[in-house]
């Protein structure tokens, strides 16, 4: 499995000024993302605080899988999020596995 960084941007049906959890279809989108997270496909993900889109780090077999992993996401289907950049990524440092510095 390889790691990929995926950047999605808000699409034409994103409601400007509303946070993610108040967007239409939030429950369906959250269920979709939770399934990917529970199966280990999504490692990290979340929205940019300026409302411009999201960043997700996924584990996939290849770039084709990474490119299409969100095709069935209700937010993608309804053009609330639109495809962006997919980049293969190598993790060299991982601070999540150690205690925070004091």
Q: Which residues in the chain show pLDDT less than 50?
A: none
At residue 95, the pLDDT reads 87
* Element spanning 46, H or E: strand 42-47
pLDDT tens per residue, range 31-55: 999 999 999 999 999 999 999 999 9
Is residue 73 within 8 Å of 81, Cβ to Cβ? yes
The predicted pLDDT at position 19 comes to: 92
The set of residues, in sequence order, having a beta carbon less than 8 Å from that of 16 and lying 6+ positions away, is 10, 51
The structural domains of the chain, ordered by start, are: 2-91 (3.30.70.1060)
CA distance 47 to 93: 22
Measured CA to CA, the distance from residue 73 to residue 84 in angstroms comes to 14
pTM of this prediction? 0.90
| 81/96 Cα distance (integer angstroms) | 28
Instruction: Tell me how far apart the alpha carbons of residues 5 and 43 are, in angstroms, rounded to a whole number.
Output: 10
Quote the percentage of the chain above a pLDDT of 70.
100
């Amino acid at each position: 499995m390889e790691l990929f960084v995926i950047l999605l941007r808000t699409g034409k049906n994103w409601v400007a000024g509303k946070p993610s959890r108040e967007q239409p279809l939030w429950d369906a989108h959250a269920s979709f993302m939770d399934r990917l997270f529970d199966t280990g496909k999504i490692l990290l993900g979340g929205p940019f605080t300026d409302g411009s889109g999201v960043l997700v780090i996924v584990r996939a077999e290849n770039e084709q899988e990474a490119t299409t992993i969100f095709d069935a996401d209700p937010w993608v289907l309804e053009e609330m999020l639109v495809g962006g950049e997919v980049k293969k990524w190598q993790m060299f440092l991982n601070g999540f596995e150690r205690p925070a510095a004091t």
